[in-house]
Structure 1
Amino acid sequence: MTVNETILRVTIAFLVLFLLARLMGRKEIGQMTFFNWTTAIGIGSIAGNLAVNESTLIKDGVIALIVWTLFTIILDMIDLKSKQGRMVTTGEPLIVIKAGRIMEAALKISRIDMDELQALLRQKDIFSLKDVDYAILETNGELSVLKKESQQPVTKTDLNIKSLKNVLFPLPTDVISDGKINSENLSKLHLEKSWLDRELQKANIRSAEDVFFAQVQQDGTLYIDRKSK
């Protein structure tokens, strides 16, 4: 392979990869789930072959990149439209500490030992497990932590000496996503669909289909985000 051909191949591979990366969006970079990692590895391998492997025709390499990108975009669309699709492509978060107790089964499923869990907690500036109320391992491998109330930082509300609201639920819980009611979560909270309907009516919303996202807060109130028109 001549120098000119190498330069041409690298230039084409770079431009095609750059354009396709822009087309796929920021999610492939910002949220590295198993699916995103697989996609990045695949596209990188194809681009590498296109750039330096003279047995790979430029046309074939470009077609392979485009087809791989189309598969990625299609699966992303499924991921956006279907909760079941999201569970297949990205999995679901795992509660590894619940009400201050370590969930050993969740650690086994995620194949994380106590040393790794403590390392993840230290990255959140938490050096003692007794300070943690809830910890959730997200689908991108990051750990989200809710500290116990006594360990949480003081807020402006606290400084106003206002009494704390009653905590009815341990965590904020999703009850509507993409216009679809999560009956399982409602059941876990011991709430009826009729309660949800009443809360939506109070917000002048006729149907759950008009809601993009709704979440029951710890004090029992409902946070609602309408769908964009």
Structure 2
Amino acid sequence: MWTLSVPWWELVIRGSVVFLALFAMIRLIGRRQVGQLTPFDLLLLLIISNAVQNAMLGPDNSLLGGLIVAAVLVGWNYLFGALSLYSPRIERVIEGSPELLVLHGRVLHEALAKNQISDAELHAALRRAGCFGVDEIELAVLETNGAISVKKRDAAPAPR
């Protein structure tokens, strides 16, 4: 249970390589909130987690080996969080930047395509914000956490 079948440093390297590779892959596929995951997104995450387990642990299936790899993953996560707090440049690399999806009532289709957001998903987010037409929107922004923030256009002042 506590005896490693590979050296501890190999587990650290394996865990680090898998973490960094998955970070890069997930960063490339876009951002969604957990509540916005489609069944296909969830299935992909489940299969990936199973696929990389052996890559991280190799032939070791000891309790200590699992704890070492878990500590490495938590350590990388903590390090990325700390680095993003102290450097705006690193934060943009790790978290990304907010991106405009709608500006002055006009949908920016290139931004939707780049972020793999369908018109239906955009319109659902607008409805959640109480807007039922794109013309009501001053701007809509895809936040770094995957949420879509909406600012309505200011209403014209009522005539006197």
Q: Say whether residues 1:63 and 2:68 are aligned partners.
A: yes
Q: Which runs of 5+ in 2 are unaligned?
A: 2-29, 35-44, 54-59
Letter in 2 for 1:144: S
Greater fraction of residues in strand: 1
CA distance, structure 2, for counterparts of residue 129 and residue 100 of structure 1: 5
Measured against aligned partners, the alpha-carbon deviations of 1:193-215 in whole angstroms (never above 9, x if no partner) come to: xxxxxxxxxxxxxxxxxxxxxxx
| Largest Rg, 1 or 2 | 1
CA distance, structure 1, for counterparts of residue 142 and residue 76 of structure 2: 27
Instruction: Please state how far the C-alpha of 1:90 moved relative to its aligned partner.
Output: 1.2
Higher relative contact order (CA 8 A, sep 6+): 2
Instruction: Please state how far the C-alpha of 1:62 moved relative to its aligned partner.
Output: 0.8
Question: What's 1:95 paired with?
Answer: 100
Instruction: Please state how far the C-alpha of 1:89 moved relative to its aligned partner.
Output: 1.2
Question: What's 2:114 paired with?
Answer: 109
TM superposition score normalised by structure 1: 0.42
Instruction: Please state how far the C-alpha of 1:125 moved relative to its aligned partner.
Output: 2.0
Instruction: Please state how far the C-alpha of 1:60 moved relative to its aligned partner.
Output: 0.6
Aligned CA RMSD, in angstroms, stands at 2.8
Instruction: Please state how far the C-alpha of 1:114 moved relative to its aligned partner.
Output: 1.3
Q: Say whether residues 1:84 and 2:80 are aligned partners.
A: no
Q: Secondary structure at the match of 1:150?
A: coil
Q: Secondary structure at the match of 2:138?
A: strand
* Number of aligned positions between the proteins: 107
Q: Which runs of 4+ in 1 moved over 2 A?
A: none
Question: What's 1:136 paired with?
Answer: 141
Q: Which runs of 5+ in 1 are unaligned?
A: 6-32, 50-54, 152-229
Greater fraction of residues in helix: 2
Measured against aligned partners, the alpha-carbon deviations of 1:112-168 in whole angstroms (never above 9, x if no partner) come to: 1211110111121221111111110111111111101118xxxxxxxxxxxxxxxxx
